[in-house]
């Protein structure tokens, strides 16, 4: 024995129940993250690399009179200063958004939100670049801003988008789902109708790593290599080709390790484009990384939905219909990311988990002088807003009828035998067993005991609240016939190669921002073909080295890319069967599969492992007709439908009656994401999402003052929850596989963020029953809670 | 990464050296202690000093010493030392109450009491603590040392009577028998600056009456830092819920809160009332329990 102990190469492999396939497994990528060896965008350092810095507008709305860059250009170390005028020359001052609008890369005519990009400096280092920003002299003429979305459509509202031909107002779109007349008829004959105005305020994904890019344009061979913090490298490559006119094969987008995305890193930001132009202009690589305030003030926000909800029901609590009108604040440019047909994302799943007779929604999008973007922050394309609306409204109804919130939900659930369930706004829910999940959460919580405790506490003047929520998500966008983003179908590719020694590499079109793809996707391959997960390399985030696909957002990686990986592995397995048959000199149909091995039916000793078959394929075995000498395959998976994860959440809060401070005491989360690939990763996703949810419910908001100054531009103002604000999560699960997904998996990335805010707010409102509070808008800060106790509503400044 | 403007940097080797450097580099030279207020301001370019005079090597400004009826604190004493000191907690429990709520461990490991007081942020918790403890401050300048009472330290938000060529060296807290104190803060999240906070220190008389009291409020625009009308109203009285309520009411009347993201004006005023009552109740409890423990 030597002094140094022998250690297994992979600690996971040493664990007793090392799974071949699905199961609890430590993440393969974690050793590098834990040891500080991740490779993030800011770790990209190229020879001769220059640095960019962005000048931003201090005004929310102003005319751009002039820009003088001479002093900045004269600053030591400065190589270039790029303005909107310069970009106009390249036809790049404006670029298409993901929502059929255009957005300014650098302002030319006006600035339309505080923090908008005005000029870009390229210098030797970050310090010179930043210093030079101070030397750019911009003359603005302030214009009245539109901050309150409710006033955006007033006749006298200033027109923000004067760049668009013939624009006379700030209206973007009207969009409806469901049957208005049918819904009105149900409402007309209902015993009770409850209504409430519910604001889902503007929040921000605030990923730990801010956005950035390193552009390296090679003038000799005309190839652009672009490192970006992007959740969708392939879509970006295509867009750059279309917008910048660089041929697509001459663009390589690399998305290195990403420190959190949450939707914030789906779109193309002006900084990326400026880095590219900077590299073309200077002939050197250019790095641009935004700082925290730039990230919070200018990149994709989330929510900002002003909703009016209505529920019609019978006196005994049977919900008949839900109706809602929404004013959607899209900021200065309509740059939300969602499938083309759905300008309000998947908001029309606001029918929730309930069997309704009718439903209708109307969403109106408006421009305001705020940062553009939207549909970010782990929201499954606005499912978050939808769930929040319906789950708050069901509580409003329960309160009105004096029915327990858990009971009213149990009464109205879609029943297991009703699946696949056609809802009233066009969705086909794939599968669900709602009551089972709800009962499990209630058991875990000790629901009846909690209600007893609450009653006792109320007697003593103590404020304890129990919030109940049940959500259904719609994720895994989506079928090509219905869903595209800027014309690109929402399918995903996967490519698998089994090497001669039986190890494998799988290439994905999606890109992880921390979700653990390198582990989950290795486990899917492993489950299907029996190669241990540690023997499977997962390659992603590099357009030159992975198949095309639309990327990671809306919880779509497992539902779509996971489907692709399962299918490609099955294709390889089918091929392996042919080769094994040749090797065993038998017919393919006479072989039986057990994980990792084909054997002859009735004679298990006669068999070939995948490694043996791989060696055979690449070796000298005589292959059957039409089979080439490898064990590789490629597929593109077009999902037949979305998947519908669901869950039951119960939150217990205590409120200090003297200060309004809310303490989340317990949180019980029962999730059903169908087949569970890796419990550990699922729990991690749930823990993170619940923390997000507590943050939105209690403290997060991007608000504005009346001049349009962003009030959430730093972490001193934009509060993110810490371990101190959250309880020990109590998680549980049920498993209702998706019937149409190759492995029955539904996706879990956003469930907890979608489901938890309403659980917390419902608990806060429940606690405040002695004060007759029916609704309180997020974030439930101590001040807002106390004001609600006084019977006052605190509006957010923009609303 | 947020980037400050360019600046020069000098590391002081002694207090005299620091004073000399301040004199030498003039108006645009600033002392840097923990840097947890100054550096963020520089990164946001709200402060653009040309010279930073680093006093972190002046270990002789980092101490907590009891001397007679005074507790002397060196200006370079870190939040963490104040938080962890049992001597401080024994004499002035409000210091630990306050320190527990200031920022987070990273900030507390570096930030100093001197920096906190010289920053003169209206939401600085230690300012209220020092008001409540009737603090005396020792300031050194080119012409020697002077002492000022706490109420003369702050001239307004972010403005102190410590001149550019001077350094705050010591914080002195008078120790009084039969006294105790308490501090409580409402924040939106752990580590947030106060929405409102209150501190009180009181001395009990032989007959169980409140012999002396100081009440301070944080972040609500209280003139002079203390709620004198409330103090006057309860001085000499027997403690009790009605008295606390009266003090709370007067303290709330005398503050001038501004509504913002942390809370509405009405809410902050309410907190001034509620928290004043809480710290009085707690401080009385503490005097009584130490008295009980002694007898
Ligand atoms: C994230 C965060 C959260 C925070 N939360 C809170 C909070 O909840 N409550 C709270 O009270 N504080 C809070 N703070 C502030 C913290 O307490 C700082 O440590 C403190 O304000 C400044 O101390 P410092 O030693 O870091 O001072 P520095 O930043 O070094 O200096 C501050 C100012 O004081 C001057 N100065 C420093 N020392 C001297 C001296 N001896 N003589 C003369 N001038 C001097 C400097 O020139 C400068 O102008 C927070 C800070 C951060 C970063």
pLDDT in tens, A220-250: 999 999 999 999 999 999 999 998 889 999 9
Q: How far is CA A28 from CA A35, A67, A449, in A?
A: 13, 51, 42
With a cut of 50, say whether residue A8 has pLDDT above it: no
CB–CB contact B274 A659 (8 Å)? yes
Q: Where are the beta strands (DSSP E) in A229-272?
A: 251-254
User: Where is pLDDT greater, at A10 or A536?
Assistant: A536
In A620-639, the residues whose Cβ lies within 8 Å of chain B are none
For ligand 1, is residue B34 a contact (CB within 6 Å)? Answer: yes
Which mutation among B4, B19, B33 tests ligand 1's pocket best, with the greatest number of atoms within 8 A of CB? B33
For ligand 1, is residue B98 a contact (CB within 6 Å)? Answer: no
Which of B7, B267, B271, B274 would best serve as a mutation to test chain A binding (most A beta carbons within 10 A)? B267
- Which residues, listed in sequence order, are joined to residue A202 by a DSSP beta bridge? A303
Residue for token pair 């109708």: A193
Q: How many CB atoms lie within 10 A of CB A722?
A: 13
Residues sharing a CB contact under 8 Å with residue A542, sequence separation 6 or more, in sequence order: A233, A252, A253, A254, A255
What is the spatial distance between Cα A80 and Cα A276, in angstroms, rounded to a whole number?
13
Nearest ligand 1 atom to alpha carbon B32 = 30
Does the beta carbon of B5 lie under 8 angstroms from any beta carbon of chain A?
Answer: yes
Torsion of CA B182, B187, B193, B195, to 10 degrees: -90
Residue A239 structure tokens = 């867009």
For ligand 1, is residue B122 a contact (CB within 6 Å)? Answer: no
With a cut of 60, say whether residue A78 has pLDDT above it: yes
Rounded percentage of chain A residues whose pLDDT exceeds 70: 97
Q: What is the pTM of this model?
A: 0.96
Q: How many CB atoms lie within 10 A of CB A732?
A: 16
| Long-range pairs for A82-89: beta carbons < 8 A, 24 or more residues apart | A82/A106, A82/A119, A82/A120, A82/A121, A82/A122, A82/A274, A82/A277, A82/A278, A82/A281, A83/A118, A83/A119, A83/A120, A84/A108, A84/A118, A84/A119, A86/A277, A87/A277
User: Which chain B residues touch A127 with a CB distance below 8 Å?
Assistant: 3, 6
pLDDT at A2: 38
Torsion of CA B126, B127, B130, B132, to 10 degrees: -110
For ligand 1, is residue B102 a contact (CB within 6 Å)? Answer: yes
Q: Where are the alpha helices (DSSP H) in chain B?
A: 15-25, 38-43, 79-84, 86-91, 93-101, 105-110, 113-119, 125-132, 228-234, 241-254, 265-294
What distance in Å separates residue A349's CA from the closest CA in chain B?
32
Give the mean model confidence (pLDDT) for residues A555-575: 96
DSSP state at residue A601: T
Does the beta carbon of A663 lie under 8 angstroms from any beta carbon of chain B?
Answer: no
Domains of chain B (ranges, CATH numbers): 8-54 (3.30.43.10), 59-174 (3.30.465.10), 179-289 (3.30.390.50)
What is the spatial distance between Cα B283 and Cα B291, in angstroms, rounded to a whole number?
12
User: Which chain B residues touch A706 with a CB distance below 8 Å?
Assistant: none
pLDDT at A772: 96
What distance in Å separates residue B112's CA from the closest CA in chain A?
20
- Which residues, listed in sequence order, are joined to residue A536 by a DSSP beta bridge? A504
Q: At what angle do helices A782-789 and B265-294 cross, to 10 degrees?
A: 100
**Do residues A203 and A302 lie in contact, with contact meaning Cβ atoms separated by under 8 Å?**
yes
Average the pLDDT over each of A263-267, A324-328, B183-187, B244-248 and give the range with the smallest value: A263-267
From the list B1, B6, B264, which residue is nearest A131 (CB)? B6
pLDDT in tens, A594-643: 999 999 999 999 999 999 999 999 999 999 999 999 999 999 999 999 99
pLDDT in tens, A138-151: 999 999 999 999 99
Residue B203 structure tokens = 């001395």
Measured between CA atoms, the residue of chain B closest to residue A656 is B186
What is the spatial distance between Cα A491 and Cα A638, in angstroms, rounded to a whole number?
5
CB–CB contact A787 B278 (8 Å)? no
User: Which chain B residues touch A699 with a CB distance below 8 Å?
Assistant: 188-189
Give the mean model confidence (pLDDT) for residues A678-685: 97
For ligand 1, is residue B22 a contact (CB within 6 Å)? Answer: no
Q: How many CB atoms lie within 10 A of CB A462?
A: 16
Nearest ligand 1 atom to alpha carbon B193 = 8
How far is CA A232 from its chain centroid? 12
Residue A730 structure tokens = 């109590």
What is the spatial distance between Cα B73 and Cα B92, in angstroms, rounded to a whole number?
13
Residues sharing a CB contact under 8 Å with residue A166, sequence separation 6 or more, in sequence order: none
Q: How far is the CA of B33 from the centre of ligand 1 (A)?
A: 8
- In a 13 Å sphere around the CA of A607, the CA atoms on its Cβ side amount to 18
Q: Where are the beta strands (DSSP E) in A132-240?
A: 137-142, 171-178, 192-203, 212-218, 223-228
Backbone phi, psi, residue A719, to 5°: -90, 135
pLDDT at A794: 81
Does the beta carbon of B195 lie under 8 angstroms from any beta carbon of chain A?
Answer: yes
**Do residues A727 and A666 lie in contact, with contact meaning Cβ atoms separated by under 8 Å?**
yes
Ligand 1: residue whose CA is nearest its atom 37: B115
Does the beta carbon of B295 lie under 8 angstroms from any beta carbon of chain A?
Answer: no
Q: For residue A12, what is the enclosing H or E element?
A: helix A11-14
**Do residues A149 and A703 lie in contact, with contact meaning Cβ atoms separated by under 8 Å?**
no
Residues sharing a CB contact under 8 Å with residue A75, sequence separation 6 or more, in sequence order: A123, A128, A131, A132, A135
Does the beta carbon of B102 lie under 8 angstroms from any beta carbon of chain A?
Answer: no
From the list B44, B261, B266, which residue is nearest A717 (CB)? B261
Give the mean model confidence (pLDDT) for residues A750-771: 97
Residue for token pair 């029901």: A313
Ligand 1: residue whose CA is nearest its atom 21: B116
Give, for all 295 residues of chain B, the pLDDT tens digit. 899 999 999 999 999 999 999 999 999 999 999 999 999 999 999 999 999 999 999 999 999 999 999 999 999 999 999 999 999 999 999 999 999 999 999 999 999 999 999 999 999 999 999 999 999 999 999 999 999 999 999 999 999 999 999 999 999 999 999 999 999 999 999 999 999 999 999 999 999 999 999 999 999 999 889 999 999 999 999 999 999 999 999 999 999 999 999 999 999 999 999 999 999 999 999 999 987 777 6
Does the beta carbon of B50 lie under 8 angstroms from any beta carbon of chain A?
Answer: no
User: Which chain A residues touch B107 with a CB distance below 8 Å?
Assistant: none
User: Which chain B residues touch A709 with a CB distance below 8 Å?
Assistant: none
Of the candidates A710, A770, A763, the one whose C-alpha atom is nearest the C-alpha of residue A778 is A763
Which of A657, A659, A712, A796 would best serve as a mutation to test chain B binding (most B beta carbons within 10 A)? A659
**Is the bond preceding A779 in cis, omega lying within 30 degrees of 0?**
yes
Torsion of CA A24, A26, A29, A30, to 10 degrees: 140
Per DSSP, the three-state class of A243 is helix
Of the candidates A649, A198, A644, the one whose C-alpha atom is nearest the C-alpha of residue A406 is A649
Q: How confident is the model at residue A507 (pLDDT cuts 50, 70, 90)?
A: very high
Residue A495 structure tokens = 């490519």
**Do residues A622 and A732 lie in contact, with contact meaning Cβ atoms separated by under 8 Å?**
no
pLDDT at A795: 77
Sheet of B51-54, strands arranged across: B8-11, B51-54, B29-32
Residue A181 structure tokens = 């007349």
Q: What is the mean pLDDT of chain A?
A: 95
pLDDT at A18: 78
What distance in Å separates residue A541's CA from the closest CA in chain B?
24
What is the spatial distance between Cα A384 and Cα A555, in angstroms, rounded to a whole number?
12
pLDDT at A16: 53
CB–CB contact A658 B1 (8 Å)? no
pLDDT in tens, A454-479: 999 999 999 999 999 999 999 999 89
Sheet of B196-204, strands arranged across: B179-186, B196-204, B210-218
How far is CA B259 from its chain centroid? 23
First vs last Cα of chain A: how many Å apart?
Answer: 72
**Do residues B187 and B195 lie in contact, with contact meaning Cβ atoms separated by under 8 Å?**
yes
Rounded percentage of chain A residues whose pLDDT exceeds 90: 94
Per DSSP, the three-state class of A695 is helix
What is the spatial distance between Cα A550 and Cα A560, in angstroms, rounded to a whole number?
10
CB–CB contact B5 A134 (8 Å)? yes
User: Which chain B residues touch A790 with a CB distance below 8 Å?
Assistant: 266
For ligand 1, is residue B199 a contact (CB within 6 Å)? Answer: no
For ligand 1, is residue B128 a contact (CB within 6 Å)? Answer: no
**Do residues A297 and A334 lie in contact, with contact meaning Cβ atoms separated by under 8 Å?**
no
pLDDT at A35: 96
How far is CA B52 from its chain centroid? 24
For ligand 1, is residue B117 a contact (CB within 6 Å)? Answer: no
Q: How far is the CA of A206 from the centre of ligand 1 (A)?
A: 26
**Do residues A469 and A604 lie in contact, with contact meaning Cβ atoms separated by under 8 Å?**
no
**Is the bond preceding A420 in cis, omega lying within 30 degrees of 0?**
yes
CB–CB contact A722 B5 (8 Å)? no
From the list B3, B189, B274, which residue is nearest A725 (CB)? B189
Q: How confident is the model at residue A10 (pLDDT cuts 50, 70, 90)?
A: very low
């Amino acid at each position: 024995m030597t002094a140094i102990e022998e250690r297994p190469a992979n600690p996971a492999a040493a664990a007793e129940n090392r799974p071949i396939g699905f199961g609890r497994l430590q993440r393969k990528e974690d050793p590098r993250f834990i040891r500080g060896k991740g490779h993030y965008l800011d770790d990209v350092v190229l020879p001769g690399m220059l640095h960019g810095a962005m000048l931003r507008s201090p005004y929310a709305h102003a005319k751009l009179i002039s820009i003088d860059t001479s002093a900045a250009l004269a600053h030591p170390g400065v190589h270039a200063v790029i303005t909107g005028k310069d970009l106009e020359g390249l036809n790049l001052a404006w670029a298409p958004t993901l929502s059929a609008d255009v957005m300014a890369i650098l302002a030319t005519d006006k600035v339309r939100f505080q923090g908008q990009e005005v000029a870009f400096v390229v210098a030797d280092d970050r310090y010179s670049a930043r210093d030079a920003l101070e030397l750019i002299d911009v003359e603005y003429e302030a214009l009245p801003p539109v901050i309150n979305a409710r006033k955006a459509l007033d006749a006298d509202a200033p027109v923000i988008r004067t760049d668009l031909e013939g624009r006379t107002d700030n209206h973007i779109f009207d969009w409806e789902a469901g049957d208005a007349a049918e819904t009105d008829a149900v409402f007309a004959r209902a015993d009770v109708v409850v209504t409430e105005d519910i604001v889902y305020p503007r929040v921000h994904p605030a990923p730990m790593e801010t956005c950035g890019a390193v552009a390296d344009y090679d003038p000799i061979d005309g190839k652009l290599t672009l490192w970006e913090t992007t959740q969708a490298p392939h879509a970006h490559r295509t867009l750059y080709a279309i917008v910048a006119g660089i041929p697509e094969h001459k663009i390589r987008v690399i998305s290195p390790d990403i420190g959190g995305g949450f939707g914030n890193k789906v779109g193309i930001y002006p900084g990326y484009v400026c880095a590219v132009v900077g590299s073309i202009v200077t002939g050197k690589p250019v790095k641009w990384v935004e700082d925290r305030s730039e990230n919070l003030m200018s990149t994709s926000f989330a929510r900002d939905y002003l909703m009016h909800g209505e529920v019609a029901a019978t006196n005994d609590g049977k919900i008949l219909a839900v109706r809602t009108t929404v004013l959607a604040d899209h900021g200065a440019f309509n740059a939300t990311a969602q499938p083309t047909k759905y300008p309000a994302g998947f908001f029309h799943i606001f029918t929730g988990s309930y069997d309704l007779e009718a439903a209708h929604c109307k969403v109106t999008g408006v421009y305001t002088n705020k940062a553009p973007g939207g549909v970010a922050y782990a929201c499954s394309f606005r499912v978050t807003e939808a769930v929040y609306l319906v789950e708050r409204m069901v509580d409003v109804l329960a309160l009105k009828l004096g029915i327990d919130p858990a009971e009213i939900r149990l009464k109205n659930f879609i029943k297991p035998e009703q699946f696949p369930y056609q809802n009233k706004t066009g969705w086909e829910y794939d599968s669900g067993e709602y009551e089972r999940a709800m009962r499990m959460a209630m058991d875990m919580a000790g629901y009846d005991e909690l209600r007893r405790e609450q009653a006792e506490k109320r007697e003593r003047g103590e404020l304890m609240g129990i919030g109940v929520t049940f959500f259904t998500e719609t994720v895994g966008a989506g079928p090509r016939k219905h869903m595209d983003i800027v014309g690109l179908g929402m399918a995903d590719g996967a490519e698998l190669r089994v090497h001669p020694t039986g190890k494998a590499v799988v290439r994905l079109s999606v890109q992880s921002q921390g979700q653990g793809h390198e582990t989950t996707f290795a486990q899917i391959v492993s489950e299907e073909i029996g190669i241990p997960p540690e023997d499977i390399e997962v390659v992603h985030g590099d357009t030159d080295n992975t198949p095309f696909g639309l990327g990671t957002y809306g919880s779509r990686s497992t539902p779509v890319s996971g489907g692709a990986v399962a299918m490609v592995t099955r294709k390889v397995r089918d091929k392996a069967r042919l080769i094994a048959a040749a090797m065993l000199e038998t017919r393919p149909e006479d072989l039986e599969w057990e994980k990792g091995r084909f054997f002859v039916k009735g004679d298990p000793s006669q068999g070939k492992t995948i490694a043996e078959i791989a060696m055979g394929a690449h070796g000298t075995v005589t292959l059957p007709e039409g089979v080439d000498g490898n064990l590789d395959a490629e597929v593109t998976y077009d999902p037949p439908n979305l998947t519908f994860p669901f869950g039951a959440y119960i939150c217990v809060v205590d409120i200090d009656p003297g200060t309004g401070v809310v303490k989340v005491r317990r949180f019980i989360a029962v999730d059903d994401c169908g087949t569970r690939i890796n419990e550990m990763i699922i729990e991690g996703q749930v823990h993170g999402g619940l923390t997000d949810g507590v943050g939105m419910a209690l403290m997060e908001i991007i608000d504005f003052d009346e001049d349009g100054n962003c009030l959430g531009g730093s972490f001193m103002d934009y509060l993110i929850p810490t371990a101190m604000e959250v309880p020990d999560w109590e998680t549980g699960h049920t498993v209702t596989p998706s019937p149409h997904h190759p492995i029955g998996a539904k996706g879990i990335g956003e469930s907890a963020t979608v489901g938890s805010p309403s659980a917390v707010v419902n608990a806060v409102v429940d606690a405040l029953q002695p004060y007759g509070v029916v609704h309180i808008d997020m974030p439930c800060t101590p001040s807002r809670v106390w004001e609600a106790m006084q019977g006052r509503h605190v509006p957010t400044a923009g609303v | 990464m947020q980037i400050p403007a360019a600046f020069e940097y000098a590391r002081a080797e002694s207090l005299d050296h620091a004073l000399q450097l301040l004199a030498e580099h003039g108006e645009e030279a600033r002392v840097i202690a923990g840097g947890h207020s100054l550096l963020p301001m520089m990164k946001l370019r709200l402060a653009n000093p040309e010279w930073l005079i680093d006093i972190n090597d002046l270990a002789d400004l980092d101490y907590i010493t009891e001397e007679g009826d005074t507790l002397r604190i060196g200006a370079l004493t870190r939040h963490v030392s104040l938080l962890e000191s049992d001597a401080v907690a024994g004499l002035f429990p409000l210091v630990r109450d306050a320190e527990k709520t200031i920022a987070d461990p990273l900030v507390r490991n570096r930030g100093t009491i001197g920096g906190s007081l010289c920053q003169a942020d209206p939401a600085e918790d230690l300012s209220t603590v020092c008001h409540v403890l009737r603090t005396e401050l020792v300031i050194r300048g080119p012409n020697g040392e002077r002492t000022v009472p706490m109420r003369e330290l702050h001239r307004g938000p972010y403005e102190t009577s410590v001149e550019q060529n001077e350094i705050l060296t010591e914080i002195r807290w008078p120790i009084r028998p039969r006294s105790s104190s308490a501090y409580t803060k409402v924040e939106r999240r752990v580590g947030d600056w106060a929405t409102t906070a209150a501190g009180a220190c009181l001395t009990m008389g032989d007959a169980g009456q409140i012999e002396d009291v100081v009440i301070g409020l944080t972040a609500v625009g209280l003139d002079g830092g203390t709620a004198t009308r409330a103090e006057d109203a309860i001085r000499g009285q027997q403690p009790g819920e009605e008295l606390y309520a009266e003090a709370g009411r007067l303290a709330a009347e005398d503050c001038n809160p501004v509504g913002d993201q942390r809370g509405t004006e009405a809410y902050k005023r309410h907190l001034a009332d509620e928290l004043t009552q809480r710290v009085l109740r707690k401080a009385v409890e503490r005097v009584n329990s130490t008295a009980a423990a002694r007898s």
